[in-house]
Structure 1
Amino acid sequence: MASHTTDTDAILRSLTLDEKISLLAGEAFWETVGILDKGVPSIKTTDGPNGCRGADIDGNTKAACFPAASSVAATFDPALARRIGGALADEARTKGARVLLGPTVCCHRHPLGGRNFESFSEDPHLSGTLATSLICGLQEDGGVAACIKHFVANEQETDRMTVNETIGERALREIYLRPFETAVRDARPWSLMTAYNLVNGVHCDSHDWLLRDVLRGEWGWDGAIISDWGGTNSVAGSINAGLDLEMPGPARVRTPSAVRAALEAGDVTEETINERTAALLKLIDRVGGFEQEHHPGGSPKTERAEDRPEHRELIREFGARGMVLLKNEAQILPLTKERVSGKKIALVGLAKDALAHGGGSASVNAHYKVTPWDGLAAVLRDSAAEFVYAKGVHRQRLLSPLSIDSSAAVGSITGLDGQPGFTRLLYEVGNPDPVSTLHGYASSAYSPLGSQESLNKVVELVADFTPHESGAHYMACSGIGVTTVFVNDAIVFSQESNCADPMGALFMASSEDLFRHDFVGGRAHRIRIQTKPPANIGMRILEGRSGARLGFRTASEHDADLQGEAERVARDADIAIVFTGHDPQWESEGRDQDSFDLPNGQNELVATVARANPNTIVVNTTGVAVAMPWLGDVRAVVQAWFAGQECGNAVADVLTGVVNPEGHLPVSFPRRVEDAPAHGNFPGETVNGKRSVTYAEGVFVGYRHYDRLPQESVQFPFGHGLSYTSFQLGSLQVEHSASDDDGFVVTAQVSNTGAMAGGAAVQLYVGNSIPSPEHPVKTLVAYQKARLQPGEAQTVTLLAKYRDIAHFDEKAHAWVLDAGGYEFSLGLSAVDIQAKTMGHVQQRKQYSV
């Protein structure tokens, strides 16, 4: 742990009021203010939950890309999560960062949540315990703080900065606050990030009850509270509630003049400002900031890319262990070398795409990404199997930008200096002479995040594009502000106002309309993209920040009969593996998903391949549940999640049996989206320009909801996960713990009854013996991963804490465990219950908040 040798109280006393006020907001996009003559350094933060990408959003320093949180949750293994936390701390140090903005522990409330992949689970116990382990691993060697987020109830991306969520206190306590409470009390993260949204009419950054009463009061937490980027909505309100730091910097809400005015009006006291400053100084001390080599305030800290072999191994292992075998009819898997020898295997769909991560702050410029095609070719290289490929579908929501790296297939791009790439020009509004010129800019997409250079500037990207082939090629464009595209000085596209979906545009995931332009192969065409700074866009973080992207696809590629090709390839193969999923444009921070169905005709592709080949296997790479209308027509399905940079190797390990799949679903997979508990209340309604959503399902989230519906409403239940071996649970016994205040001690035997070593998550659920409409049928209270050799048996011991079985009584304002009988269910999923027994509580128990 970091040593606490700095007298932060003395530093606080030495600061002037103006200096304290300056510390209430960041200096730059990722950094806090430094006051070097008083010994206060600037410290750097970095995204994100599954990799440390450093300061730049585009072209950032390469970094290790780890499995996303939903993949971590699928392991049901806190020990692995702790190892991931330690590796993330290593990565943060390589980026000169002291605060890692993660983990994300918000609930999977609805399958269409755009950022679900970045959060662990629909279950608060699973989320909280895994977050605890990851935070402990991250902070245990000192020097790097976790910033657990987003506090609280950031379960949707639609209007996320302004949506008002009406949530009852019981649901807040049992579902949405619970994973934060577990991690705060058991792991003590050194910082926390507030959510954008409003809860019961109050923005989270200014929410007295959440920040002051619950977080710092009831839970006794003493860390630093940081706003989400652009998520500070008041001056006095946020300071008084307990928000210590507005990010990003420089201040847009807590400007020195605004804070001074609040002081003079008596809305804020200097004592409160001292409290906010002291919390930031404590954070700096905890991460060893006072001992670091100081850089000038606000300047970037040194970044380096370290591709470590131990991180490669961990990511590959973790990615494979999180994959879930959903179906395996007639044991078609694993595809061992012996079984595929001499066979022709068709790899169809996204087999040559490495779907390593989702979009937004979880995106990482990975050291490398392994595709399933390359992974399988490596693992089965000595098998005498023949691989054939068919693309089947277009992967992306948006056309790919023209870039130095990718344009070689379609043509060349040359900047104004005659070298590869675009020329990026910045202009003051109304001035025809550029104030900045940068040659060699990588692509036709420009993001304003991560720097201040485009603030209130007109941005132009200019290059001569020489296509290989003639044709009426496809293009698409979007800008945050007014944007125009010229080809040879003729306007071919014009967006005459701010974009309709600024949050989607921010993360390069907003829908764009296609247009076509005639190009002549071998001839240079000057492309100029001009975008102006947006005004009154409705998002403070985007105000004045220019950004745009232009995508391109040749007519021959766009109009090709990809599905027909896939059908022909599959028909001639012995086995067909269809790779489906989402890329970062389909599943991303900034927007919720459009549909429960896989995009771009992927469902139709699977159905077509399955008709052509009876031995069809599907590998689905999403961070969420999706519809599977073709499930009955395929032999096997693997849910791969976003498994990080080793995703292709991890997939190959599971498909071939190098790794026996042991993942379990951390979310329920409904058959229809209409059966989801939040259906009809997601993403809410807009009245008079304001969106609101009611969490009408209360505590009945995920399996708590599906337990009350016919079993056929669930495609795959929470906790489900098959194996290449088999497991049996039994000998279930329940006793009160030695200290009657703790809970129940549960023991059981788990046996590997198959012929292969493997692992399974033993899951313990508890519910009232007499069903009640006010309470879930059962809830997960404990779990343990057991790894066994063939024929081996193991006794597992689980603690079911009384408070984890209790419900929150709003009238008593306390956690209550009623006297009576409780049914203990031991299973390999919420539905596959293999042993049950009873436990009894003799007297009603009540626990204060």
Structure 2
Amino acid sequence: MRAAAQESLNPRGARTRPPPRGFRPVAPAALDEALEMIDGAAPPPPHRSGTSFARSCGFKAHCLLALLGAALLALLLLEPARARAEPLSAANTASLAPSPSSLPLPLSSEAIHPSSLPLPLSSEAVHPSSLPSLPSSEAIHPSSLPSPLSSNVTHPSSLASPLASNVTQPSAVPSPLSSEATHPSAVPSPLSSEAPPATHPSTPRGGAPFASHAPPPRRSHPPPPPPLPPPPPPSPPHTELAQGYLSSAGAPTPPLSARPAAPPRLNLVEEAAAGVGVWGGSCTCPDGQQYQVGDHADFCATLACVGGVSGECQRDATGPWAGRRVVCAAPPGPLWRRWGESAQLAAAAVAAELTVEEAASLVQGVGWEGYALREGYYVGSIGAIDRLGLPSINMQDAAAGFRTLDDRQVGEVTSWPCALALAATWDPRLSRELGHALGREFRAKGSNVILGPSVNVHRVAHNGRNAEYLSGEEPSLGAVLTAEYVRGVQAEGVAAVVKHFVLNSQETNRNTQSSDIDDRTLWEVYYPPFVAAVEAGVASVMCGYNRVNGQHACGNHKILVEDLKGRMGFEGWVMSDWWAVHASSAASHGVDQEMPGTGYFAPPKLLAAGADVRAMARRVLAGMFGAAAYAQPECSVGRDCWAPLYAADATSAAHDALARRLAASSAVLLKNERRALPLRAGATVALLGACDARHGMAPSSSAWDAADYYVIGGSGRVISRKARSVRQALAARGVRLLPAPAAGVPAALAALRRADVGVVCGGGATREGADRPSLRLDQDDFIRTLAAATRPADPPLVVAAFCPGAVAMEWHGGVAAAVAIFLAGQAHGDAWADVLLGDVNPSGKLPLTFPLDERHVVRPCAAERCAYAEGLAVGWRALHGKRVAFPFGHGMSYTAFNYSWAAPPPRGLAVPRAAAGRGGVARGGGEALSLAVRVRNVGGASGAEVAQLYVAFPPAAGEPPLVLRAFAKTALLPPGEAGVVSLRLWPRDLAVWSAGAWTLAEGHFGLRVGASSRDIRLSHDLHLEAVG
């Protein structure tokens, strides 16, 4: 496992950038030790005397400066003459290092732990690597010096050398209790007579140490030293993870040293911190780039080519550090937000401190009594570990916002449009905006884990949870929107959980049916949204209820261990869906956390099953650290969560506006004849059908107040009293509405003929636990009969469809116009009014197909084994050449657009075979081919358009006739204006999954750009040759 861990330290090839702040080097031996402890689930070793210089402090810290100043003054008086007489060498420079016995002993009985001091907010702290190197292969370990100084404070050895002509006065040295540390670049090097240039604390580090030239020659007369940089601004109060998190009131939890519950042991980062001198040479980083390293360079800075994370430094063969590996890691802390090796190392450090019972508490939920949720708990809860300062993990469903399980929560959270409505926007920016807003609301309600997004690609059109699934029928659409959603949520310090992995395609027999599928279809159709989530750094993946090829998804070694954690490189934790674990052995087959906690993952059962409990806990910690989801928790379940759960108002006017904008942006104008829409000013409107409904046609099992609105039953329940019906919203805008007619087609037809236009509303229900019995709207018979009864001279009839998923529309030929909005949350009525009145020009596109009827769609499977015999021909791909009501990608506007090439695409392309990449990297390697398309508004209204790039593979590749590979939405274009969008085509987009890897498909490709899958505006042929 150690080798595997080291190989996966930077699995996605981070680009060149300055090192993150607050990094310290971690010696390989200490990392190996931590990983060994995790491998063997062994308890932490007893404290070793002599390794903690901080805990043995015996003097007052304020006395240290006086003694230190006296020692330095003596050195300054005695050394200059000898220094001028002796040439520099490794032998005599070693003697410049202060002897441990020459340093004053601490005066206080209160230990000053390095990690108890504030973390630096910049990378300007003096690093132990500025110490003079010894002429041996052993680094000077800070613990060998009996000093209370932390790594955030200037070390005596980083002061001006007696060999320099200018000396930094002791008064310029920060106090050991101050967080203002002097950067090495501001102090002359002990091994050089040349003072390096000063660096302001706010200046990013990076360029100079990595220049591709040798270190400059020494000068006989050093230049005057630069002035010291101004002190950095005071840091906001925060503390390291090992020392506890700040509570919402700002008070830190007690440090580890004050907690006697476990044998004392130093934090991994402190214990392993070592000053590593680099003697020159080149640093070869995992991305293949090389940088020259000068004398005594900060080792973490030399690894900036991988973001300060890790790397192999190939130094001079004769140097004492040749062939040595050193890993740079950030000290674990609540403000650490980057996903990468540092989250893994932080998790390893904390996991090494866990007892078996504490580790087990992280891998099973608490809070449910049977199927009833306890007061003061969330849908999913993991208890706090107070000894280590770890708050509780508080999870809540998120199909349409924070799930309102309790009526006290009604009105306190936003009821957002469903995920399928977001998919209809085809707008990655809106997906990220929604993610940010959800993260803020969940945090305000005390939750640090959002159980979403749900991203399963639609296979079964009747699936009761399709409204929750962000991908629609297309994996490429789902992949892009999923990644942005995850980034938005986790930027707010809330961990995202992508679900349901995988093939949870129907609710019928969902706990028992097996989805039987081939590997190629998995990787090309159903995995891409999950791969994109992993690429975005998602904290957790939830496995589903169903079986996959005969094995329960929660416990399926192939999909969880080999594919997800192996080929995809997922580094977070796998949690089960609620009650989806069927045996303790699931822990040995990829499940890291059992929810909501039913006993399968109790410690005795896990140990009997041979599970590595500590490794499972480490993955949970890594996911939480990577998303910064432990930072500043609002509450701990079972103790003080009542206020955020039941009283905190997480809504805002900005969120209400975003919900309305998102709902209106998702509107899909299916048809618009006779200029029926937008409604003309002053027109008299007859509202027919379900236009008074404030909800998405609630399922019969629900009995909520008629004044309420909710989107989806089951885990998607979000109630809001802010929703208005279409009638209310239009009336509030001053539209002349006829009184609602009596029930029945004759009365509706009479009302239509008294009006200028008729709007007939229809909707449908959907919920978890059951599939839709039909794809027709509940008012389908009414709409069909009314449409058939109208005459050409009658006023135009407009259908407003409140859609829970795909809708069969056999009647579409008999109506003048039709608009579809997927369940829109609290903005339902207002969004409809915005679109019908033309205040918002529809720009949504269908993320699935609206069939004419139900004959050509895949229905729920009632058998125990359900074969995915259609292979790659899923959803809209299977309907190529067949008549449909409205095709995938379709969506009209109140204006019109034309397309042209902004630059001619190439006719041929030579791509290295390796560019297709291995499994798990969303777009593989290589360069992207960018197709520039100009979209011009040639109509009379401002509007936005979505340009879609489809690819026709060579016949030998065995792909469907067309597959979506890219899309881009323009800005709002005024009439006559044009915008250029870039459609990027990666080598992976021209590859197929074969024999466990991506393989480029060579030959002639057809590139098709259009407004939908059946409205192609531009075509281009491209010949691809794989080389190498």
Query: What SS does structure 1 have at the residue aligned with 2:866?
Result: strand
In structure 2, what is the Cα distance between the partners aligned to 1:245 and 1:59? 27
Residue matched to 1:51: 401
Matched, 1:127 2:127: no
Residue matched to 2:905: 734
Cα deviation for residue 577 of structure 1 reads 0.7
| Equivalent AA in structure 1 for residue 785 of structure 2 | A
In structure 2, what is the Cα distance between the partners aligned to 1:347 and 1:25? 52
Quick check: 2:752–2:795 contact (8 Å CA) kept in 1?
no
Matched, 1:366 2:720: yes
Residue matched to 1:667: 848
Residue matched to 1:200: 549
* Greater relative contact order (CA < 8 Å, ≥ 6 in sequence): 1
| Equivalent AA in structure 2 for residue 281 of structure 1 | L
Find 1:785's aligned residue among 949, 952, 969.
969
Residue matched to 1:767: 952
Q: 1:11 to 1:178 in 2, by over 3 A?
A: closer
| Equivalent AA in structure 1 for residue 992 of structure 2 | H
Residue matched to 1:598: 777
Cα deviation for residue 25 of structure 1 reads 0.8
Q: 1:58 to 1:627 in 2, by over 3 A?
A: farther
| Equivalent AA in structure 1 for residue 1011 of structure 2 | L
| Aligned residue-pair number | 641
Query: What SS does structure 2 have at the residue aligned with 1:246?
Result: coil
Residue matched to 1:274: 614
Q: 1:255 to 1:62 in 2, by over 3 A?
A: same
In structure 2, what is the Cα distance between the partners aligned to 1:247 and 1:202? 19
Residue matched to 1:746: 931
Query: What SS does structure 2 have at the residue aligned with 1:388?
Result: coil
The Cα offsets for residues 334-393 of structure 1, whole Å up to 9 and x where unpaired, read as 00325x1xx2433432433333522221220225212111111123x1x5x23322475x
Quick check: 1:51–1:64 contact (8 Å CA) kept in 2?
yes
Residue matched to 1:254: 601
Residue matched to 1:696: 869
Unaligned runs of 5+ residues in structure 2 are 1-332, 338-342, 368-378, 697-709, 913-925
Quick check: 2:486–2:496 contact (8 Å CA) kept in 1?
yes
Find 2:650's aligned residue among 306, 313, 319.
306
Q: 1:300 to 1:574 in 2, by over 3 A?
A: same
| Equivalent AA in structure 2 for residue 140 of structure 1 | A
Residue matched to 2:591: 243
Find 2:755's aligned residue among 566, 573, 593.
573
In structure 1, what is the Cα distance between the partners aligned to 2:988 and 2:957? 20
Residue matched to 2:633: 292
In structure 2, what is the Cα distance between the partners aligned to 1:183 and 1:284? 15
The Cα offsets for residues 135-161 of structure 1, whole Å up to 9 and x where unpaired, read as 1111113x2011111111111011111
In structure 1, what is the Cα distance between the partners aligned to 2:349 and 2:955? 59
Residue matched to 1:828: 1011
Residue matched to 2:1001: 818
Find 1:216's aligned residue among 555, 565, 570.
565
Equivalences for residues 370-389 of structure 1 within 5 A: 370-379=724-733, 381=734, 385-389=736-740
Quick check: 1:53–1:60 contact (8 Å CA) kept in 2?
no
Cα deviation for residue 57 of structure 1 reads 7.7
The Cα offsets for residues 510-550 of structure 1, whole Å up to 9 and x where unpaired, read as xxxxxxxxxxxxxxxxxxxxxxxxxxxxxxxxxxxxxxxxx
The Cα offsets for residues 37-92 of structure 1, whole Å up to 9 and x where unpaired, read as 44332220011132012553896563101111111111111011110110101110
In structure 2, what is the Cα distance between the partners aligned to 1:74 and 1:279? 34
Residue matched to 1:173: 523
Quick check: 2:1005–2:1022 contact (8 Å CA) kept in 1?
yes
Q: Which of structures 1 and 2 has the bigger CA Rg? A: 2
Q: 1:257 to 1:10 in 2, by over 3 A?
A: same
Cα deviation for residue 268 of structure 1 reads 0.9
| Equivalent AA in structure 1 for residue 937 of structure 2 | N
Q: 1:638 to 1:207 in 2, by over 3 A?
A: same
The Cα offsets for residues 445-500 of structure 1, whole Å up to 9 and x where unpaired, read as xxxxxxxxxxxxxxxxxxxxxxxxxxxxxxxxxxxxxxxxxxxxxxxxxxxxxxxx
Equivalences for residues 342-741 of structure 1 within 5 A: 343-355=684-696, 357-379=711-733, 381=734, 385-390=736-741, 392=743, 562-563=744-745, 565-582=747-764, 586-599=765-778, 601-608=779-786, 611-612=789-790, 613-676=794-857, 678=858, 682-686=859-863, 691-707=864-880, 709-710=881-882, 713-731=883-901, 733-735=904-906, 741=926
| Equivalent AA in structure 2 for residue 309 of structure 1 | A
In structure 2, what is the Cα distance between the partners aligned to 1:695 and 1:830? 23
Query: What SS does structure 2 have at the residue aligned with 1:221?
Result: coil
Cα deviation for residue 734 of structure 1 reads 2.0
More strand by share: 1
Query: What SS does structure 1 have at the residue aligned with 2:885?
Result: strand
Quick check: 1:88–1:138 contact (8 Å CA) kept in 2?
yes
Unaligned runs of 5+ residues in structure 1 are 393-561
Quick check: 1:106–1:155 contact (8 Å CA) kept in 2?
yes
In structure 2, what is the Cα distance between the partners aligned to 1:738 and 1:311? 48
Query: What SS does structure 2 have at the residue aligned with 1:84?
Result: helix
Cα deviation for residue 291 of structure 1 reads 4.4
Query: What SS does structure 2 have at the residue aligned with 1:240?
Result: helix
Cα deviation for residue 563 of structure 1 reads 4.8
Cα deviation for residue 294 of structure 1 reads 5.5
TM-score if structure 2 supplies the norm length?
0.60
Cα deviation for residue 606 of structure 1 reads 4.5
In structure 2, what is the Cα distance between the partners aligned to 1:296 and 1:105? 29
In structure 1, what is the Cα distance between the partners aligned to 2:649 and 2:999? 51
Query: What SS does structure 1 have at the residue aligned with 2:393?
Result: coil
Matched, 1:22 2:371: no
In structure 1, what is the Cα distance between the partners aligned to 2:956 and 2:639? 57
Cα deviation for residue 116 of structure 1 reads 0.7
Quick check: 1:325–1:723 contact (8 Å CA) kept in 2?
yes
Q: 1:344 to 1:367 in 2, by over 3 A?
A: closer
The Cα offsets for residues 662-682 of structure 1, whole Å up to 9 and x where unpaired, read as 111010112122112x3xxx3
In structure 1, what is the Cα distance between the partners aligned to 2:484 and 2:452? 13
In structure 1, what is the Cα distance between the partners aligned to 2:386 and 2:831? 47
Cα RMSD for the two superposed structures:
2.4
Matched, 1:803 2:988: yes
Cα deviation for residue 774 of structure 1 reads 2.4
Cα deviation for residue 34 of structure 1 reads 2.4
| Equivalent AA in structure 2 for residue 720 of structure 1 | H
Q: 1:607 to 1:206 in 2, by over 3 A?
A: same
Q: 1:754 to 1:199 in 2, by over 3 A?
A: same
The Cα offsets for residues 194-239 of structure 1, whole Å up to 9 and x where unpaired, read as 1111110111111112111111111222112111111112202x11
In structure 1, what is the Cα distance between the partners aligned to 2:655 and 2:911? 41
Please identify, of 643-652 and 346-355, the stretch whose mean Cα deviation from structure 2 is larger: 346-355
Quick check: 2:911–2:1024 contact (8 Å CA) kept in 1?
no
In structure 2, what is the Cα distance between the partners aligned to 1:148 and 1:655? 35
Query: What SS does structure 1 have at the residue aligned with 2:565?
Result: helix
| Equivalent AA in structure 2 for residue 775 of structure 1 | E
Q: 1:361 to 1:744 in 2, by over 3 A?
A: same
**Runs of 4+ that moved beyond 6 A:** 736-740
Find 2:582's aligned residue among 221, 229, 233.
233
Residue matched to 1:3: 335
In structure 1, what is the Cα distance between the partners aligned to 2:687 and 2:636? 55
Matched, 1:12 2:366: no
In structure 2, what is the Cα distance between the partners aligned to 1:124 and 1:298? 42
In structure 2, what is the Cα distance between the partners aligned to 1:61 and 1:49? 17
Cα deviation for residue 256 of structure 1 reads 4.0
Q: 1:745 to 1:195 in 2, by over 3 A?
A: same
Query: What SS does structure 2 have at the residue aligned with 1:150?
Result: strand
In structure 1, what is the Cα distance between the partners aligned to 2:441 and 2:888? 32
